[in-house]
């Protein structure tokens, strides 16, 4: 036990040292549970170049979310992009010698690609792609679900550049029994055990073959930021973002549904049939999350805004619907009694979120809430209340609301 604690303490010390960039003198005298002051001062702002209003939910591993008003840009800039890690961000990445291996029982051959191979030998594509964590909105479930208590900010829609996964799969050759592509990344386990894989998820072969499924090496026109998967990342927009593996060095073409860590059991799965809140659900009654549900955010004004009474004012936001598109967005200022249609734009490309705007008039001074509700192209709308309780707290797509005062 003492040995184990010593080991954890040492590896925690090592990672603190690497964050600080210098030795912690007398570090061995620091209690293992002690949070050094620099961690408080060095918020994600300076560590990851994040906006000062981003919220840190956990610093080991790092999990950081946005606030709704930070997501007002059409293309999410790096500093407003949520970070979700299951383990420790890899260090000392050598992009020049990076190798992506594609193998697996359903691969006709095994091939290795350097970043230069990917950039020079395959056509590059750029798409704007919505990535939402399956657990976004978890904080509202009751009984509560364990895990990061995301509110609404674990969603982003940046521009990703890379090669199509399907082009790589064609280069390697698929056997007819291929059903899934699993990813492996270079992040390390919190335990410090180098043999333990943190997370290894992936996508069904049908998703892998879509034009927009990328092995990406750029985000918003630059190298992918370290926290978001530098130098190479799988991007599967519209699926829970856990399918988009960061720091990838291996893809495995499987003849079974991939069974890496966090693919099995209850991880990123919901009950196949709706259950009453608090129900214990056996594993074989849990289904893998694929397309994310229809959802929207009010990104302007900021909740709490004071609106001068008078003419109309502009409310705006974003809407997305996993693998589907959004066909209508409505807003209400009277707690859902009446709804007005917003102007909804088309997505930049398939699987990108859609901006919307509405002109709203507040009839007299006082407190209001602006609610937004999106409907997907199959006619499914966001629920007004927290939907389908599930043991791990996934897929909360309840309507977003903001508070405003007419003054
Ligand atoms: N290698 C690796 N890839 C990963 C993860 C991880 O912990 N390790 N987290 C996944 C989860 S759960 C999410 S929601 C997204 C978050 O992507 P972001 O941090 O770039 O926003 O990355 C996914 N890819
Ligand atoms: Mo996630």
390 Cβ contact list (under 8 Å, min separation 6): 141, 145, 270, 271, 275, 281
Looking up residue 265, the CATH number of its domain turns out to be 3.90.420.10
Residue 80's pLDDT band, with cuts at 50, 70 and 90, is very high
Single out the residue in 288, 313, 342 at which a domain terminates. 288
Report whether residue 402 contacts ligand 1, using a CB cutoff of 6 Å: no
Check whether 3 has a pLDDT greater than 70: no
Residue 63 included in any domain:
no
| Pair 151, 66: CB distance under 8 Å | no
**Residue of 44, 56, 85, 267 to mutate, ligand 1, most atoms within 8 A of C-beta:** 85
Residue 116 included in any domain:
yes
Instruction: Locate the ligand 1 atom nearest the alpha carbon of residue 229 and give its number.
Output: 20
**238 CA distance to ligand 1 centroid (A)?**
14
Together in a domain, 12 and 155: no
Strand 248-254 relative to strand 180-185, pairing:
antiparallel
Together in a domain, 218 and 113: yes
% helix / strand / coil in the chain, to the nearest 5?
Answer: 20, 30, 50
Containing domain of residue 167, as a range?
95-288
Q: What angle do CA 188, 43, 352 make, to 5 degrees?
A: 70
Residue 52 included in any domain:
no
Report whether residue 201 contacts ligand 1, using a CB cutoff of 6 Å: no
Together in a domain, 237 and 326: no
> How confident is the model over 202-228, as pLDDT tens digits?
999 999 999 999 999 999 999 999 999
Together in a domain, 238 and 385: no
> How confident is the model over 234-258, as pLDDT tens digits?
999 999 999 999 999 999 999 999 9
Residue 87 included in any domain:
no
Residue 107 included in any domain:
yes
In this prediction, what percent of the chain has a pLDDT beyond 90? 85
Looking up residue 377, the CATH number of its domain turns out to be 2.60.40.650
Together in a domain, 237 and 207: yes
Together in a domain, 265 and 325: no
Report whether residue 86 contacts ligand 1, using a CB cutoff of 6 Å: yes
Q: Rg of the Cα trace of the chain?
A: 22
Ligand nearest to C-alpha 66: 1
Report whether residue 260 contacts ligand 1, using a CB cutoff of 6 Å: no
Report whether residue 360 contacts ligand 1, using a CB cutoff of 6 Å: no
> What tokens appear for 337 in the block?
């009694």
> How confident is the model over 128-144, as pLDDT tens digits?
999 999 999 999 999 99
Residue 73 included in any domain:
no
Closest to 299 (Cα-Cα) out of 74, 133, 139: 74
Together in a domain, 238 and 99: yes
Identify the DSSP state of 52: T
Position 45 scores a pLDDT of 78
Residue 352 included in any domain:
yes
**135 CA distance to ligand 2 centroid (A)?**
6
> How confident is the model over 25-69, as pLDDT tens digits?
888 888 877 878 777 655 777 789 999 899 999 988 999 999 999
Q: What's the length of the chain?
A: 407
Report whether residue 164 contacts ligand 1, using a CB cutoff of 6 Å: no
**242 CA distance to ligand 1 centroid (A)?**
5
Residue position matching structure tokens 């657990």: 135
Ligand nearest to C-alpha 86: 1
Report whether residue 83 contacts ligand 1, using a CB cutoff of 6 Å: yes
Single out the residue in 231, 255, 288 at which a domain terminates. 288
Q: b vs e for 240-260, b when ≥16 Cβ sit within 10 Å of the residue's Cβ?
A: bbbbbbbbbbbbbbbeeebeb
**360 CA distance to ligand 2 centroid (A)?**
34
Q: Is 14 helix (H, G, I), strand (E, B) or coil?
A: helix
| Pair 163, 125: CB distance under 8 Å | yes
**136 CA distance to ligand 2 centroid (A)?**
8
Report whether residue 133 contacts ligand 1, using a CB cutoff of 6 Å: yes
Together in a domain, 361 and 283: no
Residue 1's pLDDT band, with cuts at 50, 70 and 90, is very low
Q: Is 75 helix (H, G, I), strand (E, B) or coil?
A: coil
Together in a domain, 126 and 203: yes
Together in a domain, 301 and 242: no
Query: Which contiguous run of DSSP H or E holds residue 192?
Result: none
Report whether residue 244 contacts ligand 1, using a CB cutoff of 6 Å: yes
Question: What is the number of structural domains in the chain?
Answer: 3
Write phi, then psi, for 285 (nearest 5 degrees): -105, 15
Instruction: Locate the ligand 1 atom nearest the alpha carbon of residue 61 and give its number.
Output: 7
**318 CA distance to ligand 2 centroid (A)?**
20
Residue 82 included in any domain:
no
Together in a domain, 159 and 228: yes
Report whether residue 241 contacts ligand 1, using a CB cutoff of 6 Å: yes
Together in a domain, 217 and 261: yes
| Pair 200, 261: CB distance under 8 Å | yes
Ligand nearest to C-alpha 248: 1
| Pair 258, 200: CB distance under 8 Å | yes
Q: What angle do CA 148, 154, 160 make, to 5 degrees?
A: 135
């Amino acid at each position: 036990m003492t040995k184990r604690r010593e080991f954890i303490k040492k590896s925690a010390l090592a990672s603190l040292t690497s964050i600080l960039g210098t030795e912690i003198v007398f570090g061995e005298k620091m209690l293992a549970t002690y949070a050094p002051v620099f961690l408080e001062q060095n918020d994600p702002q300076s560590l990851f170049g994040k906006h000062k209003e981003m919220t840190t939910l956990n610093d080991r591993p790092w999990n950081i979310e946005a606030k709704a008003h930070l997501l007002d840009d059409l293309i999410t800039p790096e500093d407003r992009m949520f970070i979700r890690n299951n383990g420790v961000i890899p260090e000392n990445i050598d992009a020049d010698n990076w190798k992506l291996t594609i193998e697996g029982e359903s691969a006709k051959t095994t091939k290795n690609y350097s970043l230069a191979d990917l950039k020079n030998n395959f056509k590059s594509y750029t798409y704007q792609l919505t990535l939402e964590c399956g657990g976004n909105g978890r904080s509202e479930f009751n009984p509560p679900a364990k895990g990061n208590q995301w509110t609404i900010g674990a969603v982003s829609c940046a521009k990703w550049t890379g090669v199509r996964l399907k082009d790589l799969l064609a280069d390697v050759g698929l056997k007819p029994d291929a059903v899934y592509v699993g990813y492996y990344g270079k992040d390390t386990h919190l335990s410090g055990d180098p043999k333990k894989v943190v997370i290894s998820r992936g996508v069904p072969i049908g998703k892998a073959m879509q034009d927009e499924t990328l092995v990406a090496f750029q985000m918003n026109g630059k190298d992918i930021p370290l926290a978001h998967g530098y130098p190479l990342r799988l991007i599967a927009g519209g699926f829970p973002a856990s399918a988009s593996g960061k720091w990838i060095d291996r893809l495995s073409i499987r003849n079974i549904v991939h069974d890496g860590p966090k693919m099995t059991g209850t991880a990123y799965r919901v009950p196949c049939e709706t259950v009453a809140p608090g129900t214990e659900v056996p594993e074989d009654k849990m289904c893998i999350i694929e397309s994310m549900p229809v959802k929207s955010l009010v990104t302007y004004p900021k909740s709490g805004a004071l609106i001068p009474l008078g003419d109309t004012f502009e409310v705006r936001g974003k809407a997305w619907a996993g693998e589907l598109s959004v066909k209508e967005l409505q807003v209400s200022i009277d707690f859902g009694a009446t709804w007005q249609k917003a102007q909804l734009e088309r997505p930049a490309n398939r699987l990108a979120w859609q901006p919307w705007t509405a002109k709203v008039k507040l009839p007299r001074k006082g407190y209001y809430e602006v609610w937004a509700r999106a409907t997907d192209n199959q006619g499914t709308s966001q629920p007004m209340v927290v939907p389908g309780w599930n043991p791990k707290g996934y897929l909360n797509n309840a309507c977003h609301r903001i508070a405003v005062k007419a003054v």
